[in-house]
Structure 1
């Protein structure tokens, strides 16, 4: 049911330092930045940087997770199957597009997401995060 890797979200302790690292040193293209995060791309790869106070004090950041694409018509069945098998959710969705946040058997944080960076940016243009700027 999953169709591919969707995006990677990394918790960061210093947003400007991380944006500079990924954009300047690794040559990611900035797509949008706001007070607590940023979206960058490299080719079709979508990277989200999410400011986290926990990232300042922990080796393993709280919000870092791996997201996979899923078709809208498969989402409910996929989520329900995982829940029926005892898979634990680690967060409720609060962003654009359907998302199911779940843990693998070792506690790695995963997400099944309906949508793309383009649909996320379109939603953000309608209702921007605090301090959000877009790079066109």
Structure 2
């Protein structure tokens, strides 16, 4: 019945700060939609951003999100980029179980304490990365 996600919604304290983080750290494209709302587009999906209390149907609080994002970058490139952006890696790289098989992941928080996991499928890792992780 379900084929894929279209979008998810994250509750944030500051829309501009969240847009800057997702654009800079995760290389997502900021877009504006419906009455000036903000979202971050990547691939064929997007993350809608809402201010705490903006959406009365959604009772999510800041920091309640937990996302796993798949990257086309190598894990070494991801780690170097996060370090250059001064993002604190909470854990990783570690082996986890993705929707399509084993993944290598790093974990960090966005400015609102949502947990972000950036992952590479293990069958896409280079031999060097598989030997060192």
TM-score range, shorter chain: 0.3 to 0.5
TM-score, normalised to structure 1's length? 0.36
